[in-house]
Structure 1
Amino acid sequence: MRALDAFIALGDEGLVAIADLLDALHRRDHPDDVHELRVAVRHLRAVCWAFGPVLPRTMRARWQACLRQLARAASEVRDWDVFIAETLQPALDLQPEDPVLAAVRDVAVTRRHAVRETMVAQLAEYQRWPLPVLHRDLTHLGGNPRSARAAARARLGEFAPRRVSRADKRVRALARAAKPGDLERVHRYRIGSKRLRYVIESLMPVLPKRQGKRLHRKLVRRQRKLGNLVDGAVARRLMAQCLDMAAADAPAADRSATISP
């Protein structure tokens, strides 16, 4: 299979998944829908990066910009969902009669509903544009002889391991740069690891075992640890917002939390 044909298939699958989740978000308000949308967008962004060398430059730039915009639209709601479910609710389970915790929870829920309204409005616009444009790109890509000739020699079996190897090298560099106290670099390391993980998941059938299942298991374990660090920083920032006070590490937490994955 040509790498170009693989991108068309994976790109179409990703766009359909995103469209279904956008419909679900308009029908109901459930935290899982926001999470699944962000995961679907991350997968498609990883696919776009992996197949970047065989895509027309203008198309690649358009997809990167559009998917980044979509990821950012849902990021703030997801932050509040995680904060409420993993920080406030466990504390309330331990101290259900605590009036301060109850008040903080009420503020968090109110702010979460407010940012969700903004998100839904942004996503409604996204369904009208640019989602149809991305679908059109795939149609034109498959029927464009010039694109087919440019990628004719890129076969998936050889192309995929090279791209995973490049992503792995990038992640190793990010790991060397990440320090426990530097949340911004830790966040970059986490995002790089996620991209590599999703690239592997998309290309698993054509990857050697060492690049597939083995590396994937390591990435999953690593993400749990990195996720706890970043989620802790976000929780401190949101708690400070709820209390209308500045936490001591709020500036560093803000920088790490506002980088969209």
Structure 2
Amino acid sequence: MRAANLPIQLHPRMRVIDAFMALADAGLAAVSDQLDALHRRDHPDDVHALRVAARQLRAVCWAFGPALPRPVRARWNDCLRQLAQAANDVRDWDVFIAETLRPALDSQPEDPVLAALHDTALTRRHYARATMVAQLAEYQHWPLPVLHRDLTHLNRAGPRGAGAAARDHLADFARRRVRRGRKRVRALMRAARSEELARVHRFRLASKRLRYVIEALEPVLAKRYARRLHGKLVKRQGRLGRLVDGAVARRLMMECLHAPVAQAPGAAETALAASAASAPGAAPAQDRSATISP
């Protein structure tokens, strides 16, 4: 397995299956590094980095899907989704504590309700991390070794054991997949205009996936086109993230208060307002749902 930080040499005329094996090997190394970091220490950045590594690798699998055997494609998609989801709860608490509760406490340090909310959130985050670490320890024994085995088999079989597009040249294939991803993002963007949070969330995830695909395939894409599209996706993610994070913050606030959303005490709005005020230029997110985790 290659080191996660070694550069990957992609060139326009290389076979698609060879490009996938190089990117997937590096992606598995990145996931393994983040799993090791999570077991060594407890830091919010490591939780975020694991989710990013898993989603980047999952985006690579989506991009190269037509070149992969169907069972391999399904197995990688399921395993990597489960891996990212294992860290969801901890990441939600980390963002809630850092961006909602701590700014509120900085604004009103003597407020006993905010202090109690902060302590409750830290406790729940502690239990969420214990659950995550137990799940991730299992993943290191299975299914991650199965993904390494898949790469070994693909390497031995070459294009004969892969999908229909395995022999294509990478540059042409990459352009087709980016166009496909952009078409999907546009369709979800139209659906998300209703501002229903579930649709916004799907739009956000598809935008992230396309961003990661562009980053992975950047060496063989037209530079100006890739740079312009990537910039739009990054800018859009900030706006969508604030909307989704606001809804998640309200859900976690209600969990801490043991109250239904409609009966939330005033402390909840105080904390949310204080955190919003601490972020210049960030508009408060509308509370359209309290059930979606980013």
For 1:80, the equivalent position in structure 2 comes to: 93
Q: 1:171-186 to 2 correspondence within 5 Å? A: 171-179=185-193, 181-186=195-200
- Cα distance in 2 between the residues matched to 1:208 and 1:69: 33
- Cα distance in 1 between the residues matched to 2:225 and 2:126: 42
- Cα distance in 1 between the residues matched to 2:96 and 2:129: 15
- In the TM superposition, what whole-angstrom CA distance separates every residue of 1:1-53 from its partner, at most 9, and x where no partner exists? 11110110000000001001101111110000000000001100100000000
Moved over 3 A (4+): 148-153, 248-251
Per the TM alignment, residue 247 of structure 1 is displaced from its structure 2 partner at its CA by: 1.0
Percent of residue pairs bearing the same amino acid type: 70
Residue of structure 2 aligned with 1:126, choices 131, 134, 139: 139
Q: 1:55-70 to 2 correspondence within 5 Å? A: 55-70=68-83
Per the TM alignment, residue 202 of structure 1 is displaced from its structure 2 partner at its CA by: 0.3
Q: 1:1-261 to 2 correspondence within 5 Å? A: 1-145=14-158, 146-147=160-161, 150-151=164-165, 153-179=167-193, 181-248=195-262, 252-254=289-291, 256-257=292-293
Per the TM alignment, residue 250 of structure 1 is displaced from its structure 2 partner at its CA by: 7.9
Per the TM alignment, residue 179 of structure 1 is displaced from its structure 2 partner at its CA by: 3.0
- Cα distance in 2 between the residues matched to 1:14 and 1:149: 20
Per the TM alignment, residue 69 of structure 1 is displaced from its structure 2 partner at its CA by: 0.8
- Cα distance in 2 between the residues matched to 1:167 and 1:210: 18
For 1:169, give the aligned amino acid: K
Q: 1:152 to 1:30 in 2, by over 3 A?
A: closer
Instruction: Work out the number of aligned pairs and report it.
Output: 257
Per the TM alignment, residue 148 of structure 1 is displaced from its structure 2 partner at its CA by: 5.9
- Cα distance in 2 between the residues matched to 1:155 and 1:173: 28
- Structure 1 contact 21–37 (Cα < 8 Å) conserved: yes
> Is there any run of 5+ residues in structure 2 with no aligned partner, and where?
1-13, 263-285
- Structure 1 contact 164–211 (Cα < 8 Å) conserved: no
- Cα distance in 1 between the residues matched to 2:49 and 2:166: 34
Per the TM alignment, residue 147 of structure 1 is displaced from its structure 2 partner at its CA by: 2.3
- Structure 1 contact 73–123 (Cα < 8 Å) conserved: yes
- Structure 2 contact 66–163 (Cα < 8 Å) conserved: no
- Cα distance in 2 between the residues matched to 1:104 and 1:232: 17
- Structure 1 contact 83–235 (Cα < 8 Å) conserved: yes
- In the TM superposition, what whole-angstrom CA distance separates every residue of 1:198-252 from its partner, at most 9, and x where no partner exists? 0000001111134411100010000000000000000000000000001139882
For 2:22, give the aligned amino acid: A
Per the TM alignment, residue 150 of structure 1 is displaced from its structure 2 partner at its CA by: 4.6
- In the TM superposition, what whole-angstrom CA distance separates every residue of 1:53-75 from its partner, at most 9, and x where no partner exists? 00000000000110011011000
- Cα distance in 1 between the residues matched to 2:105 and 2:166: 59
SS of 1:157's equivalent in the other structure is helix
What's the TM-score once normalised by structure 2's chain length? 0.84
For 2:51, give the aligned amino acid: R
For 1:135, give the aligned amino acid: H
Moved more, 176-185 or 26-35: 176-185
- In the TM superposition, what whole-angstrom CA distance separates every residue of 1:76-134 from its partner, at most 9, and x where no partner exists? 10000000000000111111111110000000000000010000000000000111110
